[in-house]
């Protein structure tokens, strides 16, 4: 993987493994497994995140249910065919396990990419400002990850003026959110969405003129509070 791709998508998570590892897929003879990790928020709530890890990293590490894990990696997306329809799936792809997480925040992410859908700005019934955006983040071998993000307050007002193709960099945390998907008038199922809750965001024109590491420190303590980190 080239250096730019490594800088464009960085994740650090620390938490408790809450599921057994199940086989996901195999690439070039190496198996990959998925498990779920519960990461605590500052508010006392928790996000339960899907984590993909190679059998190479599993060997020699006590990664059973109930164990703690500290991992560095990337937030990746892939398409999965369900009931004849393609569904965007998201996972924390582990590149390295560490004994002690370097981040003061147990759930940190830094992304740099392009706006690939028009942002959607709205207000909640409690008059909170929210904007949804989808970021395309380049990966090696001409691949891209498509990461849904949610911005709040002042960040949301800024995001609503961005256009498809604009370059942005952001930091925040990965959150899990349950919602009800209605199958019929009488039947609904509970689903889980994963997205990046944005704490800091900037738009820029050129990677050569933008210091991503200097502006967005993966290991910095967030400034927000309950449920998300907001600079408004």
pLDDT at 223: 47
Domains 3-101 and 109-215 in one fold: yes
pLDDT at 3: 55
Is residue 56 helix, strand or coil?
helix
Q: How far apart are CA 33 and CA 23, in angstroms?
A: 4
pLDDT at 220: 62
Write the CB contacts of 148 (distance below 8 Å, at least 6 apart in sequence): 88, 90, 132, 133, 134, 135, 193, 194, 195, 196
E strand spans, the chain: 9-17, 22-27, 30-40, 46-54, 68-82, 85-97, 107-115, 120-123, 129-139, 143-152, 167-182, 188-204
Q: How far apart are CA 143 and CA 97, in angstroms?
A: 24
Query: Which residue from 22, 104, 98, 20 is spatially nearest to 65, judged by alpha carbons?
Result: 20
| CATH architecture of the domain with residue range 109-215 | Beta Barrel (2.40)
pLDDT at 193: 93
Q: How far apart are CA 156 and CA 200, in angstroms?
A: 11
Side-chain half-sphere of 115: how many Cα atoms within 13 Å? 23
pLDDT at 185: 80
Quick check: 224 and 230 in contact, CB under 8 A? yes
The pLDDT profile of the chain, 232 residues, written as one tens digit per residue, is 455 667 899 999 999 999 999 999 999 999 999 999 999 998 889 999 999 999 999 987 889 999 999 999 999 999 887 777 888 899 999 999 998 776 678 999 999 999 999 999 999 999 999 999 999 999 988 899 999 999 999 999 999 999 999 999 999 999 999 888 887 888 888 889 999 999 999 999 887 778 888 888 776 655 443 333 333 3
221 phi/psi in degrees, rounded to 5: -75, 130
Instruction: Output the six-digit token pair for 143.
Output: 């691949």
Quick check: 153 and 231 in contact, CB under 8 A? yes
Domain positions in the chain: 3-101, 109-215
Which pTM was predicted?
A: 0.88
117-136 pLDDT per residue, tens: 999 999 999 999 999 999 99
Q: What's the CATH number for 3-101?
A: 2.40.50.140
């Amino acid at each position: 993987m080239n250096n730019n791709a490594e800088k464009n998508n960085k994740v650090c998570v620390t938490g408790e493994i809450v599921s057994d590892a199940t086989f996901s897929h195999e690439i070039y003879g190496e198996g990959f497994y998925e498990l779920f990790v519960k990461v605590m928020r500052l508010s006392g709530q928790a996000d339960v995140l899907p984590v993909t890890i190679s059998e190479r990293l599993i060997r020699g590490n006590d990664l059973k249910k109930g164990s703690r894990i500290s991992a560095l990696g990337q937030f990746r997306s892939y398409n999965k065919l369900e009931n004849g329809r393609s569904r965007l799936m998201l996972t924390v792809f582990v590149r390295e396990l560490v004994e002690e997480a370097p981040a003061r925040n147990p759930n940190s992410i830094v992304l740099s990419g392009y706006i690939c859908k028009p942002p959607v700005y709205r207000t909640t019934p409690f008059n909170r400002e929210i904007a949804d955006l989808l970021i395309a983040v380049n990966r090696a071998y001409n691949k891209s990850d498509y990461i849904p993000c949610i911005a709040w307050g002042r960040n949301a007002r800024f995001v609503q003026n961005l256009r498809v193709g604009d370059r942005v960099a952001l930091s925040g945390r990965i959150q899990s959110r349950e919602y009800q998907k209605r199958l019929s008038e009488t039947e609904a199922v509970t689903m889980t969405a994963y997205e990046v809750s944005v704490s800091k965001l900037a738009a820029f024109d050129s990677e050569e003129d933008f210091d991503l590491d200097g502006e967005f420190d993966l290991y910095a303590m967030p400034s927000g509070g309950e449920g998300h980190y907001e600079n408004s």
